[in-house]
Structures are given as structure tokens and as C-alpha cells.
Amino acid sequence: MSELLGIFFAAFLINNILLIRFIALCSFFGVSTKLDTSIGMSSAVIFVMTVSSAISWIAYNTVLAPLHLEFLRTAVFILTIASLVQLEELYLKKAIPALYRAMGIYLPLITTNCAILAVAFLAIDYKYNFIQSMVYSLGVSGGYSLAIILFAYVRERTALAPIPKWFQGYPIAFITAALMSLAFLGFTRMFGL
Amino acid sequence: MKLLTELNRGLVGENPVLRLMIGLCPALAVSTSAINAIGMGAATSFVLIFSNLVVAAIRKFVPDQIRIPIFIIIISTFVTIIDYVMQAYTPELHKSLGVFIPLIVVNCIILGRAEAFAYKNPVLNSVFDGIGMSLGFTMALLSIGSVREILGAGSLFGYPLFNQLAAATVMILPPGAFITIGFLMALLNKVENRVQ
């Protein structure tokens, strides 16, 4: 149990996927200008990431590894994720049209959200079993949501603050991210990990 | 002349990292040193140029509705090739770039160029577009990587420049990447404003 908690917190805070590992930054800067879009993106990521890492774990360990087809993993994983995203898009369009409109272009772009694919690869590289890889993907997507929602709060304020002209827009966003990343570095060695 | 314009676009006007803000993850994650930056640039260039070439070559036979899955299969083929080639010939570089090599498959630059350019243009133009974009990407990576290595480790391409104790280690840690790219973008804004 404590091992699972360790995996969760290591993924959630210490190796935060956005601020420490630098994965999925396009969406981090893209949707974080408003709080509601970043909440929508986070929920999409949590859902897609958990389901897709389960499916890709099963695909790798029951089909690819026994048949020695490991070299096909890139193609297999990306196709799994692409079809899942299509499914979620259909579901959201029907069930929650307001959220679907709010997320606009970023929902299909979740296919190229590297976090989803990275978690599938990393869970295999770390040789996690099924339960561990589920906990790991929950930790990663939770950390993604935490970072992007906090960042959206800050960006809503910097949008109104008097900032030198050259730094307006993306440059100040990157510097904000640098400060947040510095704060997350403080979690290193926490829980003895 | 037309080909030169294709080349130029990726370098300056539509520089993928500093202008279009795509391909950010590898640009920030592996730019801890100039060598890593060049390694990542070369791997991405290989995939980008060849996927542009193949997509442009088969564009007349590809049905519109399923073009994206076809592009992804083409891209992941080249990514798998470069992944295994680097593992065999440059194992150390492969190890330090880690998960970012297979992640080239979701680098938005590559799918973006296949969709926005190679799918609509002849082979030669697409190859030049690929070369220009690759150079722009590699240059952005190299400039971020050099700044971070000089400030953070006191060296460049592994050669020590000044006393390592004077180096600010935070620059090769994650926050350094964000600060460097923020200031580079602000600088680019300022220079461009002055030129106009």
C-alpha cells in the first residue's frame, strides 16, 4: 500500500508532468488562459489517460511482449489513443455540448497531447504491474490538473497586471511557469522518495 | 527562388518553437546542454523531412477522411527507425534523451507540417519546407541549450568555460528552461519591434 502511495505522490508532485518533466506543454500554455477551459482540459486528460494507459498496458503485456513485437508499440499506442479520443469527442458532443464547445480545438489535439502517450511508455519502462500503472496514471493526470488549474489562476491575474510591453503574453507566462516550477522543486525528497 | 522561401519560412517567420509555440516539450526538456539539443534536433529533422517527403509523394492516393491515421502511421514508422538506430549507434545520447525519442511521434510540428503543407504541395517543396522547419527547430533548441549550459554548468559542448562553482545550477534544472525561453521570446519581440 505504501508503495502505491509512493508511486502516486512521486507522479503527482515530485515529478510533476508539466512543471518538472516538461511533457504536454503545448496544452499547458494553450488552454490555461481561462479557468473553465483548463478545468475542462484536465477532466478530459484524467479520463483519456486512465483508460488509455489501461488499454495500452494490456496490449503491451498480453499481445506485443509475448509475440516479441515490442517495436510496434509506438504505432499501437498512438492508434489506441487516437480512437479513444474520437470516442470521447462523440460522447461529449452528445452529453455535455457546452463543455465540448469550450474545449474547441483542444479535444482533438489531446491525441497529440504527449502526456497520454508518455504515461503509456513510462509505465512500461518502469516495469509497473497493472495496479501500479493505474495508480501512476492517476497521479500523473492529477498532477497535470493541479498544475494547469493553479497556472490558470495566475494567468487570469497577470492578464490584467501592468507588465512591460516585450513581456506581455507568452514571455510572462513562461516566467510565471518558471516560478511555479521552482516551487514544485521544493517537493524533491519529500516522503523519502 | 520559391524553394528558398519555403526554407526561410521555418527559420524565422514561422519558427516552430519561438513563434508558433509548438514542439515545446522536447525544446524545454532536453535543452540542458548544447549536445543534447543537437541530438534531439537531428532526430526530429530526420522524421520531419522524411514524413514530409512520403506524405507529399502519396498525397494523391490518400482519401481525405482517413488522412490523419495514415500520417500518424508514416510518422511512427520513421520514429521507430530513428529510435532503434540511435539505440544502436549513440546509446549514451539515446539514454539522456530518454522517453522524448518515442515522443517525437506526437511532436505537433511533424503532424502540423504534414497536414498544413506536405498534403497540399509537391515533393520537392515539401522536402525544403521540412528542412527549413527542422533548421528552425534545431536552432531554437541550440540557443536555449547553449544559454542553459553556459549559465547552469559553466561549459559549452562539454568544454569548461569558467569556474563551475560560479555556475547557477538552477539553469539546468526545470525552472531554468522556462526562464530562458521566456527571456528569449521577450528579446525576439523587442528586436522585431525595433526592426519595424
pLDDT tens digits for A143-177? 999 999 999 999 888 888 888 888 888 888 888 98
Q: In whole angstroms, what is the distance from residue A15 CA to residue A12 CA?
A: 7
* Shortest distance, CA B4 to any CA of chain A (angstroms): 29
B193 with A166: Cβ contact below 8 A: yes
Torsion-angle region of A113 (φ positive above 0: left; ψ -120 to 50: alpha; else: beta) = beta
CA B174 and chain centroid, separation? 18
pLDDT tens per residue, range A28-76: 887 788 888 788 788 878 878 888 888 888 888 888 888 888 788 888 8
b/e burial code for range A24-34 (CB count within 10 A of at least 16 → b): bbbbbbbbbee
Residue of A nearest to B175 (CA): A178
DSSP code, position B23: S
Asked whether residue A128 carries a pLDDT value surpassing 60, the answer given is yes
Residue A71 in domain: yes
Find the domain containing A136 and state its range.
2-24+36-144
Residue A125 in domain: yes
* Cα Rg of chain B, angstroms: 18
Please tell me if residue B187 touches chain A, with a CB cutoff of 8 Å.
Answer: yes
Number of domains comprising chain B: 1
Residue of A nearest to B28 (CA): A22
Residue A84 in domain: yes
Taking residues A102-120, what's their average pLDDT?
A: 71
Q: How many CB pairs below 8 Å do chains A and B form together?
A: 116
Residues 6+ apart with CB under 8 A from A159: A33
The per-residue pLDDT for B81 is 92
Q: Which amino acid is at B121?
A: N
Find the domain containing B33 and state its range.
2-195
Query: Shortest CA distance to B15 belongs to which of B158, B191, B196?
Result: B191
Mapped onto helix, strand or coil, the DSSP state of residue B155 is strand
Q: Which helix (DSSP H) or strand (DSSP E) does residue A36 occupy?
A: helix A35-58
Residue of A nearest to B188 (CA): A166
Q: Give me B29's grid cell.
A: 526538456
Residue A118 in domain: yes
The per-residue pLDDT for A125 is 84
Contacts of B77 in chain A (CB under 8 A): 75
B69 with A179: Cβ contact below 8 A: no
Most B-contacting residue of A31, A78, A85, A136 (CB-CB within 10 A), to test interface? A78
Number of domains comprising chain A: 1
Q: Give me A126's grid cell.
A: 518502469
Q: Which amino acid is at A163?
A: I
A22 with B68: Cβ contact below 8 A: no
Most B-contacting residue of A23, A48, A74, A151 (CB-CB within 10 A), to test interface? A74
ipTM above 0.90, yes or no: no
Mapped onto helix, strand or coil, the DSSP state of residue A186 is coil
The pair phi, psi for residue B154, each rounded to 5°, is 70, 30
**Contact between B114 and B49 (Cβ < 8 Å):** no
